[in-house]
Amino acid sequence: MTIDLVIEILTEVFWTVLIVLLPVLGTSLILGVMLSVFQAATSIQEMTLTFVPKILITAVAIVIMLPFMADKVISLTMKIMNLMITVIR
């Protein structure tokens, strides 16, 4: 196993993690900004106003994106397993 192979694997792992997490984090970020603007406009500073909707929307985003996320992670796992078999031989 060469250093180039390790760098290639780690690069692909980082990109896969970024692609898998970006939809969930993006939804949470957009909702957080919208709630912050709402709080600033109405002067409501209640912590549960931001916490509960973020948790609910994040859970919904995870449920909706789960097939996509599972597909990406499974394909990466299969690629790494096949690579391990190749390196062992």
User: Would you state the pLDDT for residue 40?
Assistant: 87
Which pairs count as long-range contacts for 57-65, CB under 8 Å and 24+ apart, including other chains?
A: 57/27, 57/28, 57/31, 58/24, 58/27, 58/28, 61/23, 61/24, 61/27, 61/28, 62/24, 65/23, 65/24
What domain count does the chain have? Answer: 1
Q: Is the pLDDT of residue 1 over 80?
A: no
Q: Taking residues 19-47, what's their average pLDDT?
A: 90
pTM score of the predicted model: 0.77
Higher pLDDT, 45 or 55: 55
Q: Is the pLDDT of residue 19 over 90?
A: yes
Supply the range of the domain harboring residue 60. Answer: 3-88
